[in-house]
């Protein structure tokens, strides 16, 4: 689900930082941290005058008809019958007589091919690296709340790698951020959101790398971490990063606490082992006016057997540390990939 939230315009300095950190040849403006709805508004077919109605109006003219009162019905002109090739718009049945030469039509074919390539680039970007794992961060000031209480010990380094990638590729491009880990007592990287600069990103990554494995969280630990995050009234959105599953007995109180938050709460499900957690976090984000994203590592130990993968997907070894995966069952409707389940 892709619920828009307030975000300030990316400054020229931030765009230069984004351009310097980009590892692709695609235009920075086309692959920036904006929602798919906004991206389509800026770079879609309509904005480039390439939807069917716009093209037809440039290569032909509509076959006119008018209502004749004396006959009590619409009557179409016949002067062009057989004179021009004719096509019909499926949406409303409007007929267009085509008058353009083949050279002009070939130009539109090339423009449409370029548009298809642009769409493919956007989808590939959305489903790669930190966007595949975390979705797209749309706000300029955020707090990431880590709920790693259901994490398996062998998943720690994987989660650290995932969060590091998010910090390097996305958080580095926004204005301010903070990280809070749910624990016996909430562990805060900073007391309040700090400016996202090269030094602070490096410090946050170092902090993440020093996090250790902890046993299962209590219900109060999750609630306390969210409450701490909500005390910083400067943040625009909270990202609740959940590894594994949430106990059934915690869900109702968790929902109540989230609804008390002063800002939208986006949820990120990482390696959930059952569809119940995925469905809960999806509903939670909707209630909290946020967005939802889910990722499951492509391994059997992540809880989804090899038989659940589509044809062509490969199952990686248990010891693989690469962040390769797919949305888990129950998350195939992805507005943000045109990801989130945006």
Check whether 71 has a pLDDT greater than 60: no
Q: Is the pLDDT of residue 274 over 90?
A: no
- 306: pLDDT strictly greater than 50: no
Q: How far is Cα 110 from Cα 120, in angstroms, rounded to an integer?
A: 15
Are 282 and 307 in contact, with CB atoms under 8 Å apart?
no
175 pLDDT more than 90: yes
Task: Tell which wins on pLDDT, 311 or 23.
Answer: 23
- Please tell me what DSSP assigns to residue 329: T
pLDDT of residue 34 exceeding 50, the answer is yes
CA distance 300 to 277: 18
Residue whose token pair is 């994987």: 158
Looking at per-residue pLDDT, the higher value among 57 and 314 belongs to 57
- Residue the block writes with tokens 């798919």: 36
- Cα–Cα distances (Å) from 182 to 149, 178, 295, in that order, read 8, 13, 20
Q: At what angle do helices 219-230 and 251-259 cross, to 10 degrees?
A: 10
Least confident of 224-228, 249-253, 288-292, 335-339: 335-339
> What tens digit of pLDDT does each residue of 114-150 get?
989 888 988 888 888 899 989 999 999 999 999 998 8
Mean pLDDT, range 47-76, rounded to an integer: 68
3-state secondary structure of 306: helix
Tokens found for residue 174: 């926004």
Sign of CA dihedral 290, 296, 301, 306: positive
The answer to whether residue 231 scores a pLDDT higher than 60 is yes
Q: Has residue 107 got a pLDDT over 70?
A: yes
The residue ranking higher by pLDDT, 218 or 19, is: 218
- For residue 112, pLDDT beyond 60: yes
Locate 208 and state its tokens: 């993440």
Task: Please state, as a whole number, how many other Cβ atoms lie within 10 Å of the Cβ of residue 286.
Answer: 14
Mapped onto helix, strand or coil, the DSSP state of residue 240 is: strand
> Is the separation of the CB atoms in 2 and 291 below 8 Å?
yes
Q: Which of 269, 320, 278, 314 is nearest to 154 (CA)?
A: 320
pLDDT score of 291:
94
Does the pLDDT at position 206 exceed 70?
Answer: yes
Question: Which domains, and CATH codes, for the chain?
Answer: 36-126 (no CATH), 129-337 (3.40.50.410)
Write the DSSP assignment of 161-175 as a string of letters: HHHHHHHHHTGGGSS
pLDDT (mean) for 171-199: 94
Contact 179, 143 (CB under 8 A): yes
Cα separation, 169 vs 31, whole angstroms? 12
Contact 133, 166 (CB under 8 A): yes
Q: What is the pLDDT of residue 3?
A: 32
Of 144, 225, 227, nearest to 185 by C-alpha is 225
205 CB-side CA count, 13 A: 18
Higher confidence at residue 218 or residue 196? 196
Helix axes 52-59, 102-126, angle to 10 degrees: 160
- The pLDDT, as a whole number, for residue 316 is 28
């Amino acid at each position: 689900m892709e619920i828009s939230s307030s975000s300030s315009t990316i400054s020229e300095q931030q765009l230069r930082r984004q351009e310097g950190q980009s590892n692709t040849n695609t235009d920075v403006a086309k692959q920036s941290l904006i929602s798919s709805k906004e991206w389509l508004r800026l770079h879609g077919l309509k904005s480039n005058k390439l939807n069917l109605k716009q093209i037809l109006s440039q290569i032909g003219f509509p076959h006119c008809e008018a209502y004749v009162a004396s006959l009590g019905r619409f009557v179409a002109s016949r002067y062009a019958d057989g004179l021009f090739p004719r096509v019909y718009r499926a949406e409303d049945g409007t007929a267009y007589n085509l008058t353009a030469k083949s050279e002009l039509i070939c130009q539109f074919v090339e423009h449409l091919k370029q548009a298809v390539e642009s769409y493919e680039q956007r989808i590939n970007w959305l489903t790669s690296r930190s966007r595949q794992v975390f979705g797209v961060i749309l706000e300029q000031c955020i707090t990431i709340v880590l709920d790693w209480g259901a994490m398996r010990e062998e998943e720690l380094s994987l989660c650290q790698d995932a969060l590091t990638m998010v910090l390097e590729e996305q958080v580095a491009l926004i204005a301010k951020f903070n990280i809070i880990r749910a624990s016996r007592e909430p562990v805060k990287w900073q007391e309040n959101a700090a400016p996202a600069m090269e030094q602070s990103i490096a410090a946050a990554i170092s902090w993440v790398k020093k996090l250790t494995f902890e046993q299962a969280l209590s219900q109060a630990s999750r609630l306390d971490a969210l409450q701490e995050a909500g005390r910083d009234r400067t943040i625009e959105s909270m990202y609740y990063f959940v590894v594994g599953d949430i106990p059934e007995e915690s869900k109702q109180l968790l929902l109540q606490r989230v609804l008390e938050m002063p800002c939208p709460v986006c949820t990120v499900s990482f390696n959930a082992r059952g569809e119940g957690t995925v469905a809960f976090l999806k509903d939670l984000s909707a209630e909290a006016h946020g967005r939802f994203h889910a990722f499951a590592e492509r391994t059997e130990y992540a809880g989804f057997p090899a038989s659940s993968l589509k044809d062509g997907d490969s199952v990686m070894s248990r010891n693989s540390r690469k962040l390769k995966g797919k949305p888990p069952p129950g998350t195939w409707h992805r507005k943000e990939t045109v990801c989130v389940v945006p």
